[in-house]
Structure formats: C-alpha cells, structure tokens
Amino acid sequence: MRFSDFGERAKGGGILQLMDDIGAALAGGGDMLLLGGGNPAHLPAVEQALRRAMRRLMEDGDAFERTVGDYDGPRGNEAFIGALAELLRGQLGWPVGADNIAVTNGSQSGFFTLMNLFGGKHADGARKKILLPLCPEYIGYSELGIDGGAGEGLFRANKPRIELLGGGFFKYRVDLARLDIGGDTGALCVSRPTNPTGNVLDDFEMQTLAAAARQAGVPFIVDNAYGLPFPGIVFSPAAMHHDANTITCLSLSKLGLPGARTGIIVAAPEVISRIAAVTASLNLATGSFGQSLALELIRGGEILQLSADEVMPFYRARSRQAAGWLRDGLGDLPVLLHKPEGGIFLWLWFQDFPITSADFYRRLKAKNVLVVPGEHFFFGLREDWPHRRQCIRLSYAQDEATVQKGIEILTAEARAVYAGP
C-alpha cells in the first residue's frame, strides 16, 4: 500500500509510545506503576462539583437530551462560549467576546490545527517553522505537522540557559540572547507551566516574547493546559498574559475532565473562524458533554474557586512530597531536579549518567515503573546536545502509594546504574 508524505510520517513517535504504554498498563490489571502519563488526579471536591453539574444536567428539562442528541456548531456550544467570554472579560479583564473563542475536541486537536495554520508551506511557497523559545517542550507537539518540508520538521527550538539553584535543583531559562525569529518563523509557542519540566516562564520572559512576536508579525501561542486561569496549577508568582496577538489555549482536562476532551482557544476572530472551518471538516462539530458539565461552573465562577482552593494546593503539596522522596532516595548522586513551579510533573537531570534516559526508561519498565525518557522533548533542536539523553519526566498525580513506591524503585535503579555493572 502506498501512502502520501503525510501517511509516511504517520508512524507515531514519543506521544504514541507514551499513550500505548498507558493503555497497555491500564489493561494489564494494575501491576504497572504509572508515573509517565498526564492523567490528572481524582480530587474529591472537583468530582463532587462535576456530579452536581451532572445532576443539574439530568434534571433541567431537556438539557440532557439536547446535549447528547443535538450537534453544536463547529465553534462550540453558544451558551458555553458566551459564559466563558463573560468570565474572562468580567473577572479577568480580557477584552474578548464570543467571537474570540472556539472549542476543540481536546487541546491536542486544537494544537494540530494551530500548528498547521501557521507552520508549513504558505501561499508564497515559503515553508514556515513553529519556533519554541524554550526546550524541552511538550511531546505532543512533535508529530503535528502535515507539511514540515523536505524532512526538516515543523519546529525549531531554542536551546535554554541552565541556572543552577543549589540544594539539588536547577531551572531552565529562555536564552533571549540566542532567540532568532527569522523570516522562516510562522509562530512562537510556549507551554506555561511547561510540560515536561514544571517550569513557569516568568513575567519578563512572557512580556519579552510577546513583544518579539508582535514585532516579527507572527502570533504568540501560549499553552495554558495546566496554567492560569484554570486549572491554575502554578506555584510561583505569575501574571496572566493575553493580548490581541496572543493565542491562549485552555483546557478542561487537568481540572478533572480528560475524558470529555474539551479544549479552548482564545484568539483574534480571524483565527477563530479558521479553527471553526477545520473543526467542521474534521469533526463536523465539537463534543457537547464537557461544555455542558462545565457551563454552571463557569457561569458562577466556581471554576476559578476550585482551581485556587482545591486543585493548585493539592498539586503543590504533592510536588513537594514527591521531590522530598526523590532527594532522600537519590542521596548524593549527581542528579538535579528542575524547580517545581507548576503542572503535574517532575523533571530529573542525571548528570554524567552511564546510560541514556531511553535505556533507563526500559530498565524501569522492566520493573513495572513507567516514566517518559527525555529524548522525546527536545524536538526542533538541531544540535546534538548530550543533556537531552540525561533527563526523564515523571508524574506525581497518581495516588500517594503509587508515587512513593515508583520513586523508591526509580531511585534504587539510579543508584545501581551509577554504581556500574
């Protein structure tokens, strides 16, 4: 069977390996310790709020029947979009209306659309790249390009500065001096908090990047799947950023609705109209269930209260707990932990590691612990940087016993690797 160029590239990469591992582990009876995926924790307060929303949906006239029996438009449910625009405008001061918002069937499909709206072949024949000002960056972006052009790939990544913080911690910084927004750039894209590292770009970095994008005449895409205003998993001081040139991407997944696949894009109307056009071609319409469940949470502002009072404190406490277990288990090994500033992951740098992180991933998998090797997160970086083979990502969103046991196995295996054969 002969495939197109797109079909030949549709063989999967890091994100396919990650999701396959998770699916196999869940189907295998629960022996595998899942420290590799992005599934959020099951928080009782959030689940109770969602159960109340479900009861309202069932009891409110024909609301349930309309949710499951009628198509919404390709831009999303009008009531949901209107309520969200009012929340963003009234409580956060963003100058947005309903025509600034589109819903997608999960953030991943939204990023597929955005990356190909601005990257790849343009009408004048030029091939544009998506510039990642900071890497490592989200593994799920890497395979999104339909037309990367002559095997060069859709992305170009900026190597970070590494700031050593003491106490066994470090932090990546955007190397603004090396940032090159050339004529081949179609858009800038960052995640905040950054998946995989838990890095939160500070306000100066955000303002500088936003200004550089405006000056270059390209959009600034900000992935807030874990960030502000909801689910708000941010532990360090950070102001919300949005302007007319920024495309802000939000999600209901990390709040506690990953199965409902509800992504949100806030952008200029000309961007929103194109997203709706792509949605109509790919899906006809957006899924209604997540929007219907979250509608009342948004109308009353409860979504912000849950994020601030329940979601963020849980993950902040869990990140400190998991970091403590790691530091205790690793002892004086030359392993540094990226400063946990948000999100649901920890990122470890194994300095002078005798094996690659891919090898370490396989050793841990053989011991029923799933993590994600760091190689997959440095796509778009042209130079062969050894650091990319010395890092792993792990999640601390699973139940406490799973995280603790997984870290015990991980640290014991790390000690064995450093000790040699």
pLDDT tens, residue by residue, 205-222:
999 999 999 999 999 999
Tell me the mean pLDDT in the region 281-307.
90
Q: Is 67 helix (H, G, I), strand (E, B) or coil?
A: helix
What pLDDT is stored for residue 13 in this prediction? 60
Please, which residues have CB within 8 angstroms of residue 281's CB and are 6 or more apart in sequence? none
- What's the farthest any 2 CA atoms get from each other in the chain? 68
What pLDDT is stored for residue 151 in this prediction? 42
What pLDDT is stored for residue 288 in this prediction? 85
Q: For the chain, report the end-to-end CA distance as a whole number of angstroms.
A: 46
pLDDT tens, residue by residue, 261-273:
999 999 999 999 9
Apex CA 305: angle with CA 111 and CA 258, to 5°? 35
pLDDT tens, residue by residue, 357-393:
999 999 999 999 999 999 999 999 988 999 999 999 9
Cβ–Cβ under 8 Å, residues 209 and 190:
yes
pLDDT tens, residue by residue, 4-44:
667 666 666 656 666 666 666 655 556 889 998 888 999 99
Whether the bond between 136 and the residue before it is cis, its omega within 30 degrees of 0, is yes
Task: Give the separation between CA 421 and CA 416, rounded to whole angstroms.
Answer: 8
What angle do the packed helices 269-283 and 107-118 form, to 10 degrees? 120
Pick 5-45+306-419's CATH classification: 3.90.1200.10, 3.90.1150.10, 3.40.630.30, 3.90.1300.10: 3.90.1150.10
Q: Domain 70-300 - what CATH class? A: alpha beta
Whether 78 shows a pLDDT value over 90: the answer reads yes
Which neighbouring-strand residues pair with 188?
Answer: 131, 220
Read off φ and ψ for residue 180, nearest 5 degrees. Answer: -125, 100
For the chain, domain boundaries: 5-45+306-419, 70-300
Task: Give the separation between CA 366 and CA 32, rounded to whole angstroms.
Answer: 10
Q: How confident is the model at residue 70 (pLDDT cuts 50, 70, 90)?
A: confident
Q: Residue written as tokens 């420290």?
A: 35
Task: Give the separation between CA 263 and CA 310, rounded to whole angstroms.
Answer: 21
